[in-house]
Chain A
Amino acid sequence: MKACTLIAASMLAISATLSGIGSASAQDSMVFTSWGGTTQEAQKKAWAEPFTASSGIAVKQDGPTDYGKFKAMVESGNVNWDVVDVEGDFAVAAAKAGLLEPLDPALTKSGDLDPRFSSAHHVGSFYYSFVLGFNKAKLGGKEPKVWADLFDTKAFPGKRTFYKWSAPGVLEIALLADGVKPDKLYPLDLDRAFKKLDTIKPNIVWWSGGAQSQQLLASGEAPLGMFWNGRIFAIQAENPQVGLSWEENLTAADVLVIPKGAKNKAAAMKFLAAASSAQGQADMAVKTGYAPTNLKSAALMDPKVAATLPDKFTTSQINLDMAYWAANRDEIGKRWYEWQAK
């Protein structure tokens, strides 16, 4: 890590001297933090490397994102992260709590950014859908179609897997499966959602991270469940038995924020501009199977790839309500973990 920085820094110094422009001094660097794994690797390739090449600002990678650490850094005034990839509902709540730097208004002014995923404190990182994923080989060739199938243990016996943490997704799925109309989802009827989840609680295996969800599905430990579409995209390449249904897919986004008191704020703003640009978002989408949050990106992508992304399945798509979640995050979280521990 240190060696990399050193090499990058000395390369910068050399290039600055050679070009004679010297717009970027050797100290110009910033830290980007995300969740690790294939997603951060894609972010590095799609954003950080081209950004360093064009701006001369070195981008150090750190991770995984940890909201506890995030809060501790801001409170102590010793902020080591400059740009952080966080979940949408956290970003809204964190902005309210004063943990974020307001963004340069020029960043969001162009009108190119999908308004669902940008605000005065964040720009979209990528957007994804929760989809129903399944492993045909373990289901006797049957294919579940709708969220209600996850709750039908007669037609689809075996374990089903859901996202473990209190976050937008699972409660909505329970309500949709129970017959709530998509436009009547919010405010969430928590009692009804937990009651529905109670019916399959012994059959639930929780996944706490993307890699675990893939392992559960591919091994057949849990032959069906809810997944991030990009994770299914990744295993489908190797395992033709794995399928997915876009029926009532639930969209949410990761967003990029700057923690309050970040040391390299100016560099961070430039990085956000590059990452949320049409090209940056297009490159990210091609690498991950997640959708771009810049409305102009689709035109820059191979149509064949663009056709498989969540933004092509909007007819049966439901947007998870980040504002509702941000306002009720703590209360829902408490009930969620209480219910899990019961």
Chain B
Amino acid sequence: MTTVPTPSLAGEVDLSPEPRRLAGLGAVAPALGLLALFFVVPVVALLLRSVLEPQPGLQNYAEVFGSTTYLKVFGNTFLVAGLVTLVTLLLAFPVAWFLAVAPRRWSALLFGVIVLSMWTNLLARTYAWMVLLQGTGIINRMLMQIGLISEPLSLINNLVGVTIGMTYIMLPFMILPLHATIRTLDPTVFQAASLCGASRFQVFRLVFAPLVASGVAAGVLMVFVMSLGYFVTPALLGGTSNMMLAELIAQLVQSLLNWGLAGAAAFILLVVTLAIYAVQFRYFGFGGGEAR
């Protein structure tokens, strides 16, 4: 850095765009280095294995796309991630709304509960769901005791169990971005729209929806992408017939020692994830506040 920026009149050198950007780059260098070393390098190594093992070629990819089982696992992965995202959105929206409009004390309390749940060990929370949901679990016993059902409901080792467990874990990741957006809304905007003759539906469609869209998009993206790669909860609460991709990859790596095939499956998932990010970026930027 030999070029010294020419001081402007008021001495606000720091605020001119160019030096600021460079200073920022220096600060993120350690994080970028860490990512390159511990994420990019292993991912590339895995990608190489997928085209080199057991012999050079694309046979691993052919096997993934040629097997009905693997395609079914892919389908399951998207089904579960989509379902979890939808349920999470429906549940999170009212909570985010309440957080934004409730008296401070109430919202602080609710915030505490949400954050506290994130601090609790994931495995412990998943095991807790196992205890609650199983055939001899508390939920089924209670329902049977009050006579609502005579046979225990199947709430675990199937899609229901996975959806419940993952929705619970993903809720904060939806609530927080939604809340951040809703909090910035100015109620007078809606009043203005009404005064100008917009119907309630028009207010919702033309004013409210565009304003919260970026928050919804950020939450949906975060939850969907996190769900795609989820391992612990589906493995413990799901059945073998709704296996997700992460579990399949773990099996290939740990039990079958077929790293070529595992690499292919992992790489396909990575490409899909990046594609989703690209779409998000194209339409909503980086999930920031600027709605169009």
Taking Cβ atoms with an 8 Å cutoff, the residues of A that contact B are: 66-68, 71, 159, 164-166, 205-206, 208, 219-221, 330, 333-334, 337-338, 340-342
Contacts and interface: CB of A to CB of B under 8 A. Distances in A.
A333 B258 CA distance: 11
B255 A67 contact: yes
B150 interface: no
Nearest to A94: B257
Interface in B229-243: 235, 240-241, 243
B240 A341 contact: yes
Interface string B43-74: 00000000000000000000000010100110
A68 B69 contact: no
A341 B254 contact: no
What are the nearest 9 A-B pairs in CB distance? A340-B240, A68-B254, A338-B69, A68-B253, A333-B256, A341-B243, A221-B134, A221-B136, A341-B69
Given A206-B240, A221-B134, A221-B135, A337 B69 contact: yes
Contacts of A330: 256, 258
A253 B67 CA distance: 34
Given A164-B240, A221-B136, A67 B251 contact: no
B274 to A, nearest CB: 25
A51 B256 CA distance: 34
B257 A341 contact: no
B134 A219 contact: yes
A330 B253 CA distance: 12
Interface string B114-139: 00000000000000000000111000
Given A67-B254, A67-B257, A165-B255, 18 more contacts: A68-B253, A71-B257, A166-B255, A166-B256, A205-B157, A206-B240, A208-B235, A219-B134, A221-B134, A221-B135, A330-B256, A337-B256, A338-B69, A340-B240, A340-B243, A341-B241, A341-B243, A342-B72
Interface string B3-20: 000000000000000000
A220 B134 CA distance: 10
B248 interface: yes
A221 B137 CA distance: 8
Contact of B136 (A208, A220, A334, A340): A220
Contacts of A333: 255-256
For chain B, the bracket of interface size reads 20 to 34
B182 to A, nearest CB: 40
A67 B134 CA distance: 31
Contacts of A206: 157, 240
Contact of A334 (B72, B135, B241, B256): B256
A194 B157 CA distance: 20
6 contacts: A208-B235, A220-B136, A330-B256, A337-B69, A341-B72, A341-B241
B239 to A, nearest CB: 8
A176 B251 CA distance: 27
Contacts of A166: 255-256
A206 B69 CA distance: 19
B287 to A, nearest CB: 34
Contacts of B136: 219-221
B134 A340 contact: no
Nearest to B134: A221
A214 to B, nearest CB: 14
Nearest to A340: B240
A341 B73 contact: yes
Contacts of B72: 341-342
Interface in B245-288: 248, 251, 253-259
A312 to B, nearest CB: 32
A219 B31 CA distance: 48
Contacts of B73: 341
A276 B111 CA distance: 57
A206 B251 CA distance: 15
Interface string B149-181: 000000001000000000000000000000000
A159 B69 contact: no
Contact of A337 (B157, B251, B253): B251
B129 to A, nearest CB: 14
A68 B262 CA distance: 11
A221 B243 CA distance: 21
B257 A68 contact: yes
Contacts of B241: 340-342
B69 A66 contact: no
Contacts of B258: 330
B21 to A, nearest CB: 39
Given A166-B255, A337-B69, A338-B69, A159 B135 contact: yes
Contacts of A221: 134-136
Nearest to A97: B257
A125 to B, nearest CB: 19
A205 B136 CA distance: 13
Contacts of A68: 253-254, 257, 259
Contacts of A219: 134, 136
B126 to A, nearest CB: 12
Nearest to A333: B256
Nearest to B250: A68
Interface string B64-88: 0001010011000000000000000
Contacts of B134: 219, 221
Q: Which of A164, A220, A334, A342 has the most CB of B within 10 A?
A: A334
A71 B241 CA distance: 28
Contacts of A220: 136
A264 B257 CA distance: 25
A137 B240 CA distance: 28
A330 B243 CA distance: 19
A170 B254 CA distance: 19
Contacts of B256: 166, 330, 333-334, 337
